[in-house]
Structure 1
Amino acid sequence: MQLIEIEKTNSTSVSCKGKESPYDHPKVYLEINPELGRVACPYCGKTFVSQHG
């Protein structure tokens, strides 16, 4: 089972490109959903969580 990485952030806009090569993916820019306070990368599942609640 693969663990999903969670990163706390102060920003509402984040980017993800996976891990270092060969485990990377195209860089994507994501917006944190203000109602949920989080967003997940569609490629790797890494979840970005707002520290503002």
Structure 2
Amino acid sequence: MATAAPEVEIVDTMRIACDGGEGALGHPRVWLQIPADKGFVECPYCDKKIIHRDFEGKV
């Protein structure tokens, strides 16, 4: 049985919010800061990888 890969989202800002995106089936909203040296952050609840546009294709 294969496990689905975590979702990836490309964003334009270094500070973003993640709530799981599924309404009542999501998770509590958390605010995440993308480190300027890494260019991405992963949500601790849903494992979504959020990448800043400047780092797209580099991480």
| TM-score w.r.t. length of structure 1 | 0.88
Give the secondary structure class of the aligned counterpart of 2:36: coil
In structure 2, runs of 5+ residues without a counterpart are none
> Aligned-pair RMSD on alpha carbons?
1.0
Identity of aligned residues (%): 33
Structure 1 residue 8 displacement after superposition? 0.4
In structure 1, runs of 5+ residues without a counterpart are none
Higher-RCO chain (CA-CA 8 Å, sequence separation at least 6) = 1
| TM-score w.r.t. length of structure 2 | 0.80
Which structure has greater strand proportion? Answer: 1
Which structure has greater helix proportion? Answer: 2
- Poorly superposed stretches of 4+, deviation over 6 Å: none
